[in-house]
Amino acid sequence: MGLEPLNGPRWAVVFTVNQDTENMKLTDALPLTSTGLVVAPSRVMFGPHETNLGQARMFSHRHVAYYARRAAGGAGIIVTEEASVHASDWPYERAPLASACGPGWAAIVAGVRAVSTDAVLLAALGHSGGQGTSHWSQGVLWAPSPVPEVASREVPKVMEQADITAVISGFAAAATLAVSNGMDGVEINVGQFSLLRQFLSGLTNMRADEYGSDRLRMVREVLIAVRAAVGPAVVALRLSVDEMAPWAGIVPDAGAALAVEFAALVDLITVVRGSIYTGWATRPDMQVAQGFAIDLARQVRTALHEAGSPVPVVAQGSIVDWQQAEWAITDGAADAVEMTRAQLADAELVQKLRAGVAAQIRPCVLCNQMCKVRDNRNPIISCVVDPSTGHETDEPFVVLPARIPHMVTVVGGGVAGMEAARTLALQGHSVTLVEASAGLGGVLVTASHGAQRTQLGVIAIYLESECFRLGVSIELNRTVTPADLHRMRTDGVVIVATGGRPGELPFEVEGDVTVVDATEVLKGAVLAQGPVVVWDPIGGPIAISVAELLAGHGHHVTLVTPDMLVGEKLALSGDMAPSQVRLHGAGVVLVKRALGRRAHGGGFDVEDRFSGMLSTIAATSVITCGHRVPNDDMDPDEHLAQVGDRVAPRTIHEAILEGRRAASSQLSAGVAPVPH
């Protein structure tokens, strides 16, 4: 806004209670004040989340580039990865420790200010309490009461007064350190994975002392201490208002009352949901409707306004569509919107809205495949549709125009092929995309036909529209022969992205039984009447979506897996437990620890992995959801660029990453970056 930076803490939020939001936009300023009026540049928040970008328990140069990219893209408020306020909390290996984060916060401020003078920077502060782990600390967990952690079953220590005092002091010290290193304020976590929420809840607080008779006391004392420590700097609150456990947990009415109770101590409230028993609920995958918590934000905002509180409310919860986000503001549900995963998919989301090119926003599909990193693999955060996310320091996120344009042919119109074609066209090359089928998208479009998987198809729609916009010549229903391939190489550069095909069956087939690959079912193959077996040796989402789809069509379905759990890979995306509920509700029979041996007229023979006992499951059709192999219809020269499933069938992430890399490496580029 052209204002001179102020010394010390700069921000505190101010709103009028009856503010008219009818004509508000995401790109509109968010009014803020200190000694003079200043504003956040937009009403879009980039919220706190695990990244695994840290070095030990400190922020790193990768964090700096990561947050600066979102600030340059127009994010109005950026909340950095949560830092533990006390050494007793070490929830995941690279979790920041606030006492070690001073230099990191300062570096983030410098990096962000180099690209955005007015983005609001908040340091998330918290303590996981009984929802943490002793894996790295080798110390006992702290909690209000001895309620076992749900996943590990670890029983925490009941906090004594000295422990409580230490945590309160830790919050104050961390807030002081963050603001003294240039952060505009802090956000206190009373949401998911939060010791403070555990003190608020009847699920986890059974204390007989004053912290049990007054469950709000701990949070109140923390907020008072933090406010005293940072003065006029922003004190934001992340508050779970629905623990989804109504027998003893916080329910929405009570959650809204909590917001009113704490409003006088804070400047901003982000509304979330979830408890110790619903760890998946705060950021579920595409199985849960977008914007699922907007009504919770509305309830809190209404309660605040009725109480005369001007504190603005931020809506959170799978809000990735900018139109839904803007509606949440114009309809009065919220004053701002957290769009974290949307800005992982496209860091320039706000800037593209400002430029009037919303159609060019790269979509988030809520798959959680690369952005959910709180597990023992310690993966670096990324995004299936933008592999540069989390890799800003080593993976280019701009496209360089070619010095000399070339003719390029991309063979295969799946995800890898379309991303290669899109990137090449951005570089200025003349690109032809050849596809053997009648449409683009490949196996991704097929997968999107599964139950609750429609959102996946948005990626293909985006890539196809970008190819058209950039002038890629598209040839459908054309099968490329080896002779064609040789001629294409003579005329220019060729990239092969012909995808994969079903692998060999691991069991025998004989007699009058139909064995169908999952892709054919998803394309609409009609099955004979009778029971169906879905064979799943992978444990991923395809078999689950196929079983749900067929059960929805009235088939009696048995899902068979050699694993100990059905859909065990879904634990990585947060959908394993919810998927079990859906399958049981649909009447799908689950057979675990079973190896498929033979499909025949009488059914499907399976062998117990441990006992070796054979049994037969009645079936007229067997649907195979096994591994795929590269499509070898064509055997190109080994030196020819090959990408995606044509190399080895994997995920959307690898397909897009390799398509982009091949496009960038095959031809020399220039020096001026092109946003993409």
pLDDT tens digits, residue range 327-358? 999 999 999 999 999 999 999 999 999 999 99
Q: How many CB atoms lie within 10 A of CB 504?
A: 7
For residues 415 and 644, the answer to whether their CB atoms sit within 8 Å is yes
**How far apart are the C-alpha atoms of 103 and 178, rounded to whole Å?**
9
- Is the predicted pLDDT of residue 179 greater than 50, yes or no? yes
The CA-atom distances, in angstroms, between 180 and each of 79, 128, 175, 186, 284 are 16, 24, 8, 11, 35
- Is the predicted pLDDT of residue 395 greater than 90, yes or no? no
Q: Provide the pLDDT for residue 375.
A: 84
Q: Provide the pLDDT for residue 383.
A: 97
In the chain, % of residues over pLDDT 70: 93
The CA-atom distances, in angstroms, between 634 and each of 59, 436, 642 are 48, 12, 12
Calculate the average pLDDT of the chain: 92
**How far apart are the C-alpha atoms of 76 and 312, rounded to whole Å?**
14
In the chain the domains, ranked by start, together with CATH numbers, are 12-360 (3.20.20.70), 399-500+648-675 (3.40.50.720), 508-626 (3.50.50.60)
**How far apart are the C-alpha atoms of 291 and 326, rounded to whole Å?**
11
User: How confident is residue 31, by pLDDT bands cut at 50, 70 and 90?
Assistant: confident
**How far apart are the C-alpha atoms of 125 and 105, rounded to whole Å?**
12
Q: Provide the pLDDT for residue 676.
A: 56
Q: How many CB atoms lie within 10 A of CB 160?
A: 11
User: How confident is residue 199, by pLDDT bands cut at 50, 70 and 90?
Assistant: very high
Mean pLDDT of 562-572: 94
User: How confident is residue 75, by pLDDT bands cut at 50, 70 and 90?
Assistant: very high
Q: Provide the pLDDT for residue 2.
A: 29
State which amino acid sits at residue 43.
R
Q: Provide the pLDDT for residue 127.
A: 98
The H or E element spanning position 326 is helix 322-330
**How far apart are the C-alpha atoms of 6 and 481, rounded to whole Å?**
67
- Is the predicted pLDDT of residue 311 greater than 70, yes or no? yes
Q: Provide the pLDDT for residue 665.
A: 84
User: How confident is residue 38, by pLDDT bands cut at 50, 70 and 90?
Assistant: very low
Q: Provide the pLDDT for residue 399.
A: 84
Mean pLDDT of 653-669: 85
For residues 593 and 560, the answer to whether their CB atoms sit within 8 Å is no
Supply angle C-alpha 399, 405, 409, rounded to 5. Answer: 90
Least confident of 40-44, 288-292, 474-478, 668-672: 668-672
Which tens digit of pLDDT belongs to each residue from 448-496? 999 999 999 999 999 999 999 999 999 999 999 988 988 888 888 999 9
Eight-state DSSP code of residue 441: -
Q: Measuring CA to CA, which residue among 74, 68, 30, 664 is closest to residue 357?
A: 74
The CA-atom distances, in angstroms, between 331 and each of 23, 323, 327 are 9, 12, 6
Name, in order, each residue with C-beta under 8 angstroms of 218's C-beta and a sequence gap of 6 or more.
Answer: 144, 164, 168, 196, 199, 200, 211
- String of b and e for 260-291 (b: at least 16 CB within 10 Å)? bebbebbbbbbbbbbbbebbbbbbbbbbbebb
Pairing mode of beta strands 313-315, 336-338: parallel
Q: What is the separation, in whole angstroms, between the first and last Cα of the chain?
A: 27
- Is the predicted pLDDT of residue 634 greater than 80, yes or no? no
Which tens digit of pLDDT belongs to each residue from 138-178? 999 999 999 999 888 999 999 999 999 999 999 999 999 99
Eight-state DSSP code of residue 267: S
HSE at residue 187, side-chain half, CA atoms within 13 A, is: 29
What the block records as the tokens of 46 is 């980039």
